[in-house]
Structure formats: C-alpha cells, structure tokens
A and B are shown apart, each in its own frame.
Chain A
C-alpha cells in the first residue's frame, strides 16, 4: 500500500448543450456571454479527478489536489457542485477558460502551481489530467506539464490504473483499433492523461462537500491570477463546428425513410 500524492489538473468549460458563440473582444477572441454560461469541470479532467479519488480511497494516507484554471467566479460556481463528489484540496488559478489560450501557457501555469504545493514528494507524485479538453482539445497540455515537471513516465488516453503488490503501476492506454496498450511503470512520479476511465460519476455526498468547502473558499480567495498564455497570441480566425438545425414535422414516416433522410441531410451538410 502506498500513500500517493495525486495532483489533478482541470479547467472549467461551459455546461453541455449551451450555445457557444465566438466574439472579438479587446483582449482577442472570447465566448459571447462567457460569464453567464453555466460551467462545469472539463469532463476529461472530471474522469481524472474521480479516478484520483478512487485511487486515494484505496490507498489510505493518499491525498488529492485539484489544480483548476478558470475565471474565479466560474471556479466557485463549479466547486458548488463538484465539491460533493470527491475529497480534494483546491488550488485555484484565476484565468481564462474560454479555450482561446495556448497549451504551453496553460501548462506553465499548471506546472508552476504544482511545484508550489508545500511538501510535495516526487517519489509519491502522480499527476492526473484529461488527455484532451472539451473546450479546445489540443491534447498537448498535460504532456507539456509533465515535461516542465521533469516527469518522463507519461501515459495518454488512460482508461485504467492498477497497483501491483510491488508498488508498480499497471496502466491501460487507448491505442488504435479500440484496443488498450498495457504498460508497467515501476514507481511514481508519473503523469496520466485520462480518457474516460471506467468509473461512474460519484454521487453527491454532503459530508464530503462540507469538509471540502472549508478549504475551497480560502483557496478561491487567494486564487493566483494567470494569463495562461493568451497574451501575444493572435488568432487569425475563429469558428465553431458548423451547426445546422432544420425543424420540420413529418408524420408516420417509416424508419427506413427516416434513416435515408438523415443520411441525405448529413451528406448535403
């Protein structure tokens, strides 16, 4: 049994189904009404957090930190839901989560925050995060975090981690063809970019929430402002994936004809 120090990196993203509209602001591209959109922890990072909590629960003495980057108000809003899901200590970074940032800047801010955690022991350190992001999905941020921290044992697209009796880590990474690559890592430190994992979203636990919130609010109050690399970046063009909505009412259409119409619709779009 090991006592891990698990640091999870996660940004906030707009709640699914929200209508996103890029706009140009004085500081570059932004999302229209970004501060009015309901926010949620990036789902990929969410899987990482839930896996981290599960691993910590199975290894008493372990501890989970969540290093979260986003507008302070949105981080607070997200914590009101997230903090009931799993025990963690928050390290808040106040910066943009619009997706209009670059991976290096974001990774630098995250790595600096991790390095500043008091009492961090690299021999027990596991850095978790999403292998990509719902807001931008460059797929590079966690790799750069690892490089900046000097962690060379990195795994991306992780769906499962197991701890062997000798303390080594068995990691399942997604590879082409719907298969997993099985790797064995002798010991921490290691960095894992999670895919979906295998765990369901934990239920809301009020006791966990009460305990978490005692440290979350002070962490939010001292959230460090970060620029996350947006400064100096120039976006030549910004657009959303094309969205088309045709509403029509058709009655008593057979399933085959419905399927044919959908195929035709997709083909023409």
Chain B
C-alpha cells in the first residue's frame, strides 16, 4: 500500500505532528493545500498506526507546563478536555517511614529522627513534612493537570475530524523497511498467527505501507525505534541506561476529600527513598496518583504494584483517598536518559519524535509537552519541504527538522538537564544534591555518576537483603514462589517487615483485580507473543528474575523449572522487562536477554 507519510504510534508527539501537519495540508475552507505525490488529485495521504486497541490507551496522567500545547492551541480551554485542570497548588512532601521497613541510608534515618523530634516546629503531619520551597525548575504552577489518555483522544478526534490524516489503532507496526540506506515505509505485524508467530486460522500477513517519509513516534520502548538504532547506529555518547516505571491509580476521591482540582503533590522518601510519588487532582473529584520506580533502585525485587499500595497507605496520602474507589490503573516506562538517549533523529526517509527521540527533560520531570513540541517542529519542517517540493533526504531533514530542534527550548533545556540525574547512580542523597545543583546552576555543575545496565549494578537478592533475610530463607521463598508460579516479592517484603496489604475491594485490590477493574486489560486473539526469552537456559539460571518481580501485569511469571513464562493476555505493554533484565546479552552486553517486539492489546482504559 502507498501513502505519503506513515507515522508509527499515536501519542503526544504524533498528536503535535499531525495537528500541525493537518493545518498545513488543507486550506481553511477544506480544499487541498498540498497535493499527494502518491495519489495525484487527493490531499497528502497521511496514515498513523497505533499499537494499542484505541488511541489514548496506555498513556499516563501528567502535570505539565503546557508551553508547547498552548502554542498549538492559543485559546485552549481546559474545560474542553475531559479531566484537564489548571494547576492551582503545588507541594512537595517528604514522607517519613510510618512502618519501619523502608531501607533508608543512615544520614536519612538520622534526619528522620531529627524531623520527628521537632515535628511541631516543622509542621510535620501524618508522618510527612511539606517542603517550604519548590525549586523553580520543578515548578508547574502555570501548567495543566491532564489525563494524557483523554488529551490524546481529544487531539485524535480533531485530527481525524479534519480529514487530513487517518489514525488506525489496533495496528502494531512490526518492522521498518530499510532499503538503499534509508527507510521506505513500514510493515504491520502478521495477524492470524499462533503465539509463536506461525500462520494459523485467518492468517493475514502484515501489510507493507510504503511512504516517502516514516515518522517514528513509538515511545521509549518502541520496537521500530530500536530497529532504527540497529540499522543506522546511534550517535557517539548515546546511552539509554536510565529508566523508570511509572505506575498509577486513577481514583474517585471520597466526599471527605477537600483537595481542589489542579492540586499537585510530589512526594519523596517513602516507601523506599528511591521511589518518588505523584498525586494530581482532576475535576469532578478524580485523582491520578502513583509512583516512579527508577532503574537505579538496586532492588532485584523492585515491584511497582506492591510499593504503590504501601505508598497509597502512607497516612499523608491515605487521608485524602480513604473511602475512594479505583477507576483505572496503568503503568508505563519512562526513558530517563533524556537528551543523552537521543538517537539519530533523521535519515533518508525517516524522522524520530517524542520520548523515544530523547526529548524528555529529566531535570524538570517533564515529557509530554516536550514530545508534543518535537512533533510540531517536525511538521513545520515537513511542510517546508513539501512546499518546496524537496525530497525527504537526511540532509533536507537535518536542515529543516534537526536545526529547528536544536534552536528549540526543548533542546536547550534538555542540555541543561543532561547530567542532572547522574548523582543518583551513587545513591539517593548524592542524587538529590546533584539534581538541585544542576537545576540551580542551569546544568553547569552536576554530581558525577555513571549510568549502567542492570547486570552491572543490581545486586543479588542475597546481597540486597543481607542482614534482613538469610540466604537460606531467600532460597526457600524463591522455591515456594516458583512452585506456585508467582513472584517472590510479596513474601520477601513481608519477611523484611512490610505489612500485609489490607484488601478492601475498592482501592486496595489484588494485582489481578487492578488489571481487570482498573486497566480492563485485554488481548485480541491471533497475534504472536511479543515478549521473547532469547536465551532460555540463562533465564532459568538467573537468580534475580527482575523481569518477574517487576512485571506490571504479572504477565511474566515463574514457569516450568522457574523459567520465566509469558502470558500475553496480562501484558500492559509497559516495557519494563526490556530494560530490567539483569543478565547481559552475549551478543550485545548493553542489552538483556528479553526481546520486546511489537504487540497488540493491553490497557483498555482511556482515563490514564
């Protein structure tokens, strides 16, 4: 099939790209401004293929300064977008450990004792202290609280309604067509296949969609972006060892909650010092709340779901949500290498935008607005080339798109942020100091640190729990968990002092209930498994199995002989297994033993 522009993935970056492009393709009266080279007589043929079963599934709630969004929509009224609100109040809470199980460094423990001792003076309430000051670089006071799912749907409706582009959800892109030193389009995944990918009932081979320009916006763990990295290499100094998993609940707040729409709470310190929390209040008594679990949290049993529940039960959070009800749940990977994760942005016939293009700002903790803006910049470049009837060569894209990007606030602020998080490689306290220093000096000074892949930094379970759980007991817990086909983190955490979760069926629900009543997770039949264990023997021998412990949907679980097994129907496509593997790939030690392909299904909630 022929098109003029094919876009991979529909999120904020593609939203910015297609919104801007649509305004240039058609005249205000709806007539054609730019004719299609591939189908003469018609407007430019633009198609966008999205992996998830609908647009807006599988993305996350955010607080954003919305500079790029407001530039695209100067008259933006948040009331037009479901769940959007102007930021009214922003606070940072330092959470003390109310249960005594958090692994805090000695300095932090000493600080906690001091804070508790003079709690009355510092205003400590519910085991939490509000920081008196929010650094300017973190501030979102002029921004918006959004459900990215609802925002993306709102954008998608307008793009589709314009008639200038077609967006097709439920259409995973399997391959990029690399030909003659460039990209000639994409190939969708096969349908009607077994889980191993062999033709089955209703087999339909993945169709090729050829286009003069392929726009890759498939996010931080997108397979097409990684295929481009492999085919065309990455720039010198490029690294993607910094990641985080963001997991959240969307909650109907109880009548007793007094938080106003637009309230933003950031938390640090609990459940573990390395885990940060967020709480955004939407209109109509709804909140998005969750945690970030970073790749430098060296716990091989770093479950996000269990930690999220402990975070929610912290008195400073629980007082706002007790009596509420779970509406939605989800998780996604965040690429936290920022600008150092920037790949080759352009080549012959392709360009990259969004989070997978290294646009996330790791100092200001902002990604959606940056991703959107990269899409806008590419659209402006594409329209310029189309009007001048110039081809999409690497050179032309370099002089139009990349040059715009280098001049943009996204790039300039990305450079300031580039080393801001390096200190976290040494621990939470150097990390916090490093981030503060980098922010206050606009990136001139930063705490040094060397981001590394998991196999070079994550200790064994025995090392991590040394002094808390004996190696023999860890082995027993592992064997029992393997025999039951479940992850070991619950037993390990409870043995290490974390209390059992008091399930209430409303907010505190089992992990599988979160999938069902929160994420409404589904997987269409007829697609291959998208998670593949490349070296099964090594996986069986792995003592850490972070892939199992951190799997957001319990889709990876102990199978036969403790070997990780995969259940596609539970996968929410967060992609954590891609960067979590603690075994080096023999062919590429920078990577792990899990292949993460294009796949269908996942979350069926657009409220995330």
* Residue positions of A touching B, CB distance < 8 A: 15-19, 33, 35-38, 73, 76-77, 80-81, 84, 200, 202-207, 209-210, 213, 217-218, 220-221, 245-249, 251
B153: CB under 8 A from chain A?
yes
Could you say which of B331-339, B363-371, B503-511 contacts chain A? B503-511
B585: CB under 8 A from chain A?
no
Given A15-B604, A17-B604, are A245 and B517 also a contact pair (CB < 8 Å)?
A: yes
State whether B605 touches A38 (Cβ < 8 A).
yes
CB contact between A206 and one of B82, B209, B505 (< 8 Å): that residue: B209
Interfacial chain B residues near A204, Cβ < 8 Å: 168, 170-171, 188, 191, 204
B54: CB under 8 A from chain A?
yes
- C-alpha spacing A246/B209, complex, angstroms: 48
B1: CB under 8 A from chain A?
yes
Could you say which of B99-107, B123-131, B157-165, B220-228 contacts chain A? B157-165
- C-alpha spacing A134/B192, complex, angstroms: 26
Given A76-B161, A206-B1, A249-B503, are A38 and B168 also a contact pair (CB < 8 Å)?
A: no
Q: Which residue of B lies closest to A18 (CB)?
A: B520
State whether B168 touches A206 (Cβ < 8 A).
yes
- C-alpha spacing A218/B520, complex, angstroms: 33
B391: CB under 8 A from chain A?
no
B526: CB under 8 A from chain A?
yes
Per CB-CB distance, the 6 closest pairs between chain A and chain B, nearest first, are A17-B520, A203-B191, A203-B204, A217-B163, A247-B503, A247-B505
B202: CB under 8 A from chain A?
yes
- C-alpha spacing A84/B54, complex, angstroms: 13
Min CB–CB distance A20 → chain B (angstroms) = 12
Min CB–CB distance B315 → chain A (angstroms) = 23
Interfacial chain B residues near A249, Cβ < 8 Å: 503, 510
- C-alpha spacing A251/B491, complex, angstroms: 13
* Interface of A, helix, strand, loop or mixed by DSSP: loop
Min CB–CB distance B299 → chain A (angstroms) = 23
Given A204-B170, A209-B168, are A80 and B207 also a contact pair (CB < 8 Å)?
A: no
- C-alpha spacing A47/B157, complex, angstroms: 26
Interfacial chain A residues near B168, Cβ < 8 Å: 80-81, 84, 204, 206, 209
State whether B171 touches A247 (Cβ < 8 A).
no
Given A245-B505, A247-B503, are A210 and B47 also a contact pair (CB < 8 Å)?
A: yes
Interfacial chain B residues near A36, Cβ < 8 Å: 82-83, 150, 606-607
Given A204-B168, A209-B166, are A77 and B150 also a contact pair (CB < 8 Å)?
A: no
B408: CB under 8 A from chain A?
no
Given A81-B54, A84-B168, are A200 and B201 also a contact pair (CB < 8 Å)?
A: yes
Given A81-B168, A200-B202, output 15 extra A-B contacts at Cβ < 8 Å. Answer: A16-B604, A33-B82, A38-B57, A76-B161, A77-B54, A80-B54, A80-B156, A80-B169, A203-B192, A204-B168, A207-B207, A218-B163, A220-B161, A221-B161, A249-B510
Given A205-B204, A247-B513, are A77 and B157 also a contact pair (CB < 8 Å)?
A: yes
State whether A15 touches B520 (Cβ < 8 A).
yes
- Residue in A16, A204, A218, A220 whose Cβ sees the most chain B Cβ within 10 Å: A204
State whether B192 touches A80 (Cβ < 8 A).
no
Interfacial chain B residues near A37, Cβ < 8 Å: 606
- C-alpha spacing A210/B166, complex, angstroms: 8
Q: Which residue of A lies closest to B170 (CB)?
A: A81
CB contact between B606 and one of A38, A81, A84, A209 (< 8 Å): that residue: A38
Min CB–CB distance B41 → chain A (angstroms) = 12
CB contact between B207 and one of A77, A206, A245, A247 (< 8 Å): that residue: A206
Q: Which residue of B lies closest to A74 (CB)?
A: B157
Min CB–CB distance A244 → chain B (angstroms) = 9
State whether B166 touches A203 (Cβ < 8 A).
no
- C-alpha spacing A40/B163, complex, angstroms: 21
Given A15-B520, A203-B526, A245-B517, are A38 and B54 also a contact pair (CB < 8 Å)?
A: yes
Q: Which residue of A lies closest to B504 (CB)?
A: A247
B516: CB under 8 A from chain A?
yes
Interfacial chain B residues near A206, Cβ < 8 Å: 1, 47, 49, 168, 171, 188, 207, 209
B327: CB under 8 A from chain A?
yes
Chain B, 516-549, contact with A by CB distance < 8 Å: what is the 0/1 string?
A: 1100101000100000000000000000000000
8 A Cβ contacts from B142-185 to A: 150, 153, 156-157, 160-161, 163, 166-171
B4: CB under 8 A from chain A?
no
- C-alpha spacing A220/B204, complex, angstroms: 29
